[in-house]
Structure 1
């Protein structure tokens, strides 16, 4: 069963191959050609990639992207024995990324009709649909805008499915010269490449961060800043490790101070660095994140929609997520402290849980003492109605845009919910903070975001917001782990971290 964060749009059935390599001898005889497969080849940390590149060529591989900054090569090869034959001096590890495409936290979009747009009754001094943006009031965005609505010197990288460059609420907000597609781990800066295709997710995220105040539609948290599309989601709705690595490095090398990340790496919800299949991917992503931090980037990530206690990992019910449709995974019980949700649990990343309009943890939001840094509005359409669907009073309204069947970009506005929506609220507040207090390092900005948050206490006793949920849970629609959860900690706790992000507190 797949949940909101793991909704599979297309399934890959190739088994992933990861190999930790010691220096070994010569190459074996060539085998018959296999499928064209992508690999991540890692040189030793801090070393150069020239020896690794030579090994790649000898093993009949082609380097399609070289990230010398972190010692990672993206390679394609039809040699079925490539992973074994590339072993040697200058190569630390290698992993095939076939089958490692990970499902975007897509969720469902409830679109706003043309009639609803025409009849919007927001405050005329703000935006027509502002009246439906309960989330902005919750984190005191109007008060913040009276002081500071963001600086164009701040650029936020949206690592996602692309941003519609023709959307009327975003057309002036995009740093086109810094936008890119990283699909396949290879950069493409053409505008068509980084625009969305069949997913409106990235455009929704971008609108929450920076939709313009222009008398049209909605407002973003930091309309004065710029967003850059860093497209890491392919047309099938998957994020492959090489795309994520490319995205982090692109943001680092192109002057971005923040990135927003609403996905996880690997088909495993928890990536275990002590697993030979997963270690090379874990290493590559960790290197990319560390490099971005060294270049002044603060990375913000969603906690996930599995109602899972990330501080007490024991069983993974939902991995791998790339099984054939209708086939459920066998629960995985070999978890330990080496298993992390990437990028959310990478050191230095700001991890964000979600709340609904009542301010309590959204039923789906993952949590964990020492894991969650802050919380933010993500929506909770089932919290107050316990099974009856609603939209404007419970979920997040923002911009949407995607191609129709004829290849035309269709722009509009729509409602979504998930930690994919809470993450950009925290990112937007961080962008305001950096606008008001330029020059902060990633560590200083992260600490300031937490200090300025409004502390929220744990709910008393067992937390079960939907005790009357119908059984069975509809498959592939809602989280597997619906049910009670337990909050631990005091002023800083497992549900809300340091508390609710607050836009006014970071600019006043």
Structure 2
């Protein structure tokens, strides 16, 4: 999850895909491009009502005020709707069986996307040909300081995970033909959710169609790149991967996409999801605004439903360098239109999904085991930390590159840094835990992840830019909890 993410459309990748017969859409799906009511397709909304059969009354209320039902999720009492009336949300809120309603895209769908914060940043050029040309047993493993940092190399001497455990990568899609990933891709559990939140299981829908959309493939490699004599090795090289695409071609992850992804994971028996993104268009969703409140509640219900189905949800803490436990001046929301420059957010505003109940939020460290300069943090807002890379922290590797090396589309490998890179390391450790203890509940697994983490004390003077002034204050003293939560995830402890 990120705030300082890949810039522009090619860098806004952070989702995956969803679909299957169990998730047949209810109602009519609009395929026209969004635009003002008078000229083109309608705006998108979530409408919240009762769960189960009672949601049919909510659907009736949507239609009664001129809306169209695009997708219904009776499991959580959420209807995705469209309308050409900008006042639709106000109108439907007064109807029977409607708890809340709100626009999911800030009614700015007709505006071109801005070059705003997306997912984690790709730093430097990717020379896939040079990487691929190297030979030997996991030839690029010497560059993987990140795996050694969490003792994944030692863990692999005990266990590399089980193919019975599936990690759902909610991101921009996974290149299923990549030689380091192909052995572990489960196409039967892969899907795209970016067509208005309606599941689409076609392989071309859940795989990246543009080689520059590398985010999801990079994340997948950190989790489960196979030990097969090619490229790199992931934290859990033998577990299965499901591509759940929740990032559209413009790099946005709207609530309806994320909701679809979480429910898909729950219904398909996926064991853990990695979520290296934030839900658009608000970097922080505030309960004081009825539209934001409805969108946030819809996503919260989807995450809670996944938790009820024993899914562990792991998410990136973000790349804004924010202390999430303090008020935040958010000058980048909404990111699909003109940001509000005077938006000061308080405790009623939250990052989605990272700050939702039950989510394992992950901050990032570099090779020196110090918080990465970009990583958000906060006492009570971060569960654990993991290697996300830092260009300014130099490892003892052949390239001396402090970013994270992993798979990219087209059969290559590349460097990235961000909490998007930290989160999949934690998700990989969760997959190892679930492989070693298949009888454990999701709650037991997340408890073990925290209990086994290696505590990192707060730095005495956190000044990565070297200007003599602290760049962040770490609460928690010797525990380091403000920066690192319970500490650095430990793959070796997970398997023994």
Q: Which residue of 2 aligns with 1:370?
A: 380
Q: Which residue of 2 aligns with 1:346?
A: 356
Q: Which residue of 1 aligns with 2:216?
A: 202
C-alpha deviations, 1:31-53, integer Å up to 9, x for none? 96764222111114677211111
Distance verdict in 2 for CA 1:32–1:162, change over 3 Å: closer
**1:282 and 2:296 equivalent?**
yes
CA distance in 2, matches of 1:3, 1:155: 27
Q: Which residue of 1 aligns with 2:403?
A: 395
Q: Which residue of 1 aligns with 2:493?
A: 505
Q: Does structure 2 conserve the Cα–Cα contact (< 8 Å) formed by 1:352 and 1:426? A: yes
C-alpha deviations, 1:258-308, integer Å up to 9, x for none? 000011123222211222231000110010000000000010000001111
Distance verdict in 2 for CA 1:255–1:3, change over 3 Å: closer
C-alpha deviations, 1:101-126, integer Å up to 9, x for none? 88531412531342343246xxx4x4
Question: Unaligned regions of 5+ residues in structure 2, if any?
Answer: 12-36, 110-115
CA distance in 2, matches of 1:218, 1:317: 38
Q: Which residue of 2 aligns with 1:165?
A: 176
Q: 1:64 aligns with which of 57, 63, 70?
A: 70
Q: Which residue of 2 aligns with 1:495?
A: 483
SS in structure 2 opposite 1:48?
helix
User: What are the within-5 Å matches in structure 2 for residues 42-441 of structure 1?
Assistant: 42-44=48-50, 48-86=54-92, 87-99=94-106, 104-108=118-122, 110-119=125-134, 124=136, 126-183=137-194, 184-198=196-210, 199-323=213-337, 329-333=340-344, 335-383=345-393, 393-401=401-409, 410-441=410-441
SS in structure 1 opposite 2:424?
helix
Q: Which residue of 2 aligns with 1:477?
A: none
C-alpha deviations, 1:155-202, integer Å up to 9, x for none? 011000000111111112111100000111000001110001331100
Q: Which residue of 2 aligns with 1:449?
A: 449
Q: 2:46 aligns with which of 40, 62, 72?
A: 40
CA distance in 1, matches of 2:10, 2:388: 25
The two structures have a TM-score, normalised by structure 1, of 0.85
CA distance in 2, matches of 1:138, 1:400: 22
User: What are the within-5 Å matches in structure 2 for residues 474-489 of structure 1?
Assistant: 484-489=471-476
CA distance in 2, matches of 1:218, 1:71: 43
Distance verdict in 2 for CA 1:65–1:3, change over 3 Å: closer
CA distance in 1, matches of 2:6, 2:351: 13
CA distance in 2, matches of 1:283, 1:431: 28
CA distance in 2, matches of 1:483, 1:383: 17
CA distance in 1, matches of 2:40, 2:221: 43
Distance verdict in 2 for CA 1:329–1:89, change over 3 Å: closer
Distance verdict in 2 for CA 1:423–1:264, change over 3 Å: same
Distance verdict in 2 for CA 1:149–1:93, change over 3 Å: same
Q: Does structure 1 conserve the Cα–Cα contact (< 8 Å) formed by 2:224 and 2:238? A: yes
Q: Does structure 2 conserve the Cα–Cα contact (< 8 Å) formed by 1:32 and 1:79? A: no
Tell me how far 1:416 sits from its aligned partner. Answer: 0.3
Structure with the larger helix share: 2
Distance verdict in 2 for CA 1:361–1:417, change over 3 Å: same
CA distance in 1, matches of 2:283, 2:430: 27
CA distance in 2, matches of 1:306, 1:330: 16
Q: Which residue of 1 aligns with 2:462?
A: 463
Tell me how far 1:467 sits from its aligned partner. Answer: 2.2
SS in structure 2 opposite 1:449?
helix
CA distance in 2, matches of 1:103, 1:52: 35
CA distance in 1, matches of 2:241, 2:286: 32
SS in structure 1 opposite 2:484?
coil
The two structures have a TM-score, normalised by structure 2, of 0.86
Tell me how far 1:8 sits from its aligned partner. Answer: 4.9
Q: Which residue of 1 aligns with 2:18?
A: none
Tell me how far 1:370 sits from its aligned partner. Answer: 1.2
Q: Which residue of 2 aligns with 1:17?
A: none
